[in-house]
Chains A and B, each alone.
Chain A
Amino acid sequence: MVVVDAATLAKRELNRRLNSLLAEGETAIEVQNPGSMHNLGTALKGRGEITVRGSTGFYTGGFLEGPRLVIEGNTGWYTGDNMLAGEIIIRKNAGSNCGPSMIGGTIVVHGNTGGRAGLGMKGGDLLVLGSTGRWCGQMTMGGRIIILGDVGPGLGESMYRGLIHVRDPEAESKLGGNVEFHPISADEVDSLAQLFATHGVQADPNSFMSVRPMTSGRHHYTIFNPQLSGADGR
């Protein structure tokens, strides 16, 4: 176990230190006094686990490629942006736009997260044990989002590819445009069961529903929507 005190390090210095330790083969690193630092854990590569005792700011674990990053507090916006591989575990809550354009790996948010979670995901898994804000899964092009708590309106708006699993009983009424709501499939249940087992999540995969992109046709958008009053428009 190597302990790094972030209080005296500039963020680039800290990230350089973390990447050096990982390259040297360290598998257990602890960061103390992160002070909500932005860009903590940028482009980390290798194998190993980094535990941050406290909260971080924006872009935590951006471009992550391999390590497991555990944040014992909260993270700010844009956690795990463009990450390729590895894990980011957030013990408390994550800010808005968590996991934008993720390509691979796994993000687990033990608390809640804000709007636009998983925006534009290309791959990987985003698992939210709490609730999400609106427009979760907007314009995904791959990957999977699982939400155990409540979802906000606009769920899955304009998904192109990808998958969302929800168990909010009101989810169907909160769907965004150009997506479909279905019972979960047997394969999806098996896959979820494995993911839950890996991350120690106590939930029944069969209690989820699936949100999927349209399989045919073109997306339809409404730009002008007159709110007429009465049958004759008066």
Chain B
Amino acid sequence: MSEHERHGASPEKSPKDPAIREEAHSTWSREVLSEIRYKAEHGTHRIRGCGTPRPFPGFNDLTVLPSQLTRMAVDTYREPCETRTVLGKRFCTEPLVVETPILISGMSYGALSKEAKIALARSTRLVGNSINNGEGGLLPEERAESYRQVVQVLPSRMGFSLRSIEAADALEIIVGIGAKPGLSGHLMGSKISKEVAEFRQIPEGIDLHSHPRHGDIFGADDLVIKMEQLREVTDNRIPIFIKIAAGRVREDVKIAAKAGADGIVVDGAQGGTGAAPVVAADHMGMPTLPALVQAVRALEEMGVKDEVSLIVSGGIKDGADVAKALALGADAVALGQSVMAAMGCTVCRRCHTGRCAFGIGTQDPELRARLDIDTAAKRVANYIKAMTHEAVILAKASGKTRLRNLEREDLRSLTLEACAMTGIPLVGTDFTFTEPFGFF
């Protein structure tokens, strides 16, 4: 078996070729056969980096209605549109204030190189947003560079202590992530260099499988008490977010809000990770679009939508996605895989091998040297600025002078599926055929 086939990649061929087009939809496509051969040879499930490549229903199936006579457009270039966003002000005295509602998700030092982490942190100072440290602890270099820093409270608690809390501008309790909801974390031994091992307090080279459950939070009742403890430790200064993978979103969001979260992060099935079983990445979790709608409905049912900040992640790739997410009720979005792509990642989906040729998902010193921190930081900052431009363009064309004023009524569904999932009327009609979502 060739290296090419081993990774399940099909050779490039023209989609116009009827045989290839037919094969892509066949039960017994080349990719399916490759997967079967892998399992026949190895007797175990396959691991892959990044998120699922599967197409999911998404924001592309919504359109934004422009202003004409029913409302007045705001000048695209001359009139202001506020992008500053305040997150997590429910119970804390120092909410997270960012200049654009586009944040950088938790991606760990270990999964990423130190150079990549520093570049991402530095980009936040160029656009005024926040970065999340991810699993394994907070690199001093990351904190030194970041504009705003979110620190994760993870089941493994690697590198987490009072010092981390003191350094944080917000905390994020991780219950799950979209790429592998309900599964253990996974860091391949090839990425556990001496430096990463010391940082995480683990042996060098060993495959790390962290626990999917917190050792000190066994369910929602404990979470309430834990939240009280963390508030006491922070003296109510900084916000505490709870991050869930998109599973039973309505119920999970209600529990998180009831437990006292200042904000809730909902990570859709498109979310990425450094290493995950293929079967989980491809077949678990709710896509971001319906997850966001269900989360908004849940918070509205509880009457806390204006108190609890809602952040969504998973597959967000451009300013149109941002604008539509905000219109549906998100307060912010978080990026992961896309900022890696902005740095040069080609989404080859081999992060788990630790041989990233661009110096991003690797600990190999020679490969790491390929990543120029300043250049990468500028590229990420440029990408986020451009996304913000795009969102602002759509907001102004919809007659909004603040990004956060984008609303459901600005949207229409282009497909029946999008309409059914969101309750946004089908384009050209006033028709919806699902649960109410603020219309009629």
Interface residues, chain A, with chain B CB atoms under 8 Å away = 11-12, 15, 38-39, 42-43, 57-59, 62-63, 65, 77-78, 81-82, 84, 97, 100-101, 103, 116, 119-120, 122, 138-139, 141-142, 158, 160-161, 213-215, 217-219, 221, 223
Contact A38 B228 (CB under 8 A): yes
In the complex, B226 has a CB within 8 A of chain A: yes
21 contacting pairs across A/B (C-beta < 8 A): A12-B232, A38-B225, A38-B229, A39-B225, A43-B233, A59-B216, A62-B229, A77-B222, A78-B222, A100-B215, A100-B216, A101-B157, A120-B156, A139-B210, A139-B211, A141-B201, A158-B209, A160-B202, A161-B201, A217-B206, A218-B206
- Closest approach, in angstroms, between the C-beta of B186 and any C-beta of chain A? 11
Contact B201 A81 (CB under 8 A): no
- Closest approach, in angstroms, between the C-beta of A35 and any C-beta of chain B? 15
Not counting A12-B232, A62-B233, A97-B218, a sample of 19 additional A-B residue pairs whose C-beta atoms are within 8 angstroms of each other reads: A42-B233, A43-B232, A58-B225, A63-B162, A77-B222, A78-B222, A82-B160, A82-B161, A100-B157, A101-B216, A103-B161, A122-B157, A122-B158, A139-B156, A139-B210, A160-B201, A161-B203, A218-B189, A223-B44
Interface residues on B, range: 20 to 34
Contact B202 A42 (CB under 8 A): no
Most chain A beta-carbon contacts within 10 A, residue among B44, B160, B216, B218: B216
What are the residues of chain B within 8 A of A97 when measuring CB–CB?
A: 215-216, 218
Interface residues, chain B, with chain A CB atoms under 8 Å away = 44, 155-158, 160-162, 189, 200-203, 206-211, 215-216, 218, 222, 225-226, 228-229, 232-233
What are the residues of chain B within 8 A of A213 when measuring CB–CB?
A: 203
9 cross-chain pairs, A with B, having the tightest CB-CB distances, nearest first: A101-B157, A100-B215, A119-B215, A78-B216, A100-B216, A81-B216, A141-B201, A218-B207, A160-B202
Identify the closest chain B residue to A102 (Cβ): B157
Contact B201 A122 (CB under 8 A): yes
Contact B225 A42 (CB under 8 A): no
- Closest approach, in angstroms, between the C-beta of A42 and any C-beta of chain B? 5
Most chain B beta-carbon contacts within 10 A, residue among A12, A57, A138: A12
Contact A160 B233 (CB under 8 A): no
Contact B232 A160 (CB under 8 A): no
Bound form: Cα–Cα A113–B372 in Å: 52
What are the residues of chain A within 8 A of B161 when measuring CB–CB?
A: 63, 82, 84, 103
Bound form: Cα–Cα A81–B209 in Å: 21
Contact B162 A82 (CB under 8 A): yes
Contact A59 B202 (CB under 8 A): no
Identify the closest chain A residue to B211 (Cβ): A139
- Closest approach, in angstroms, between the C-beta of A226 and any C-beta of chain B? 12
Bound form: Cα–Cα A165–B404 in Å: 57
- Closest approach, in angstroms, between the C-beta of B148 and any C-beta of chain A? 23
- Closest approach, in angstroms, between the C-beta of B223 and any C-beta of chain A? 11
- Closest approach, in angstroms, between the C-beta of A30 and any C-beta of chain B? 21
What are the residues of chain B within 8 A of A120 when measuring CB–CB?
A: 155-157, 211, 215
Bound form: Cα–Cα A30–B229 in Å: 22
Choose among B44, B201, B225 the residue that contacts A59 (Cβ–Cβ < 8 A): B225
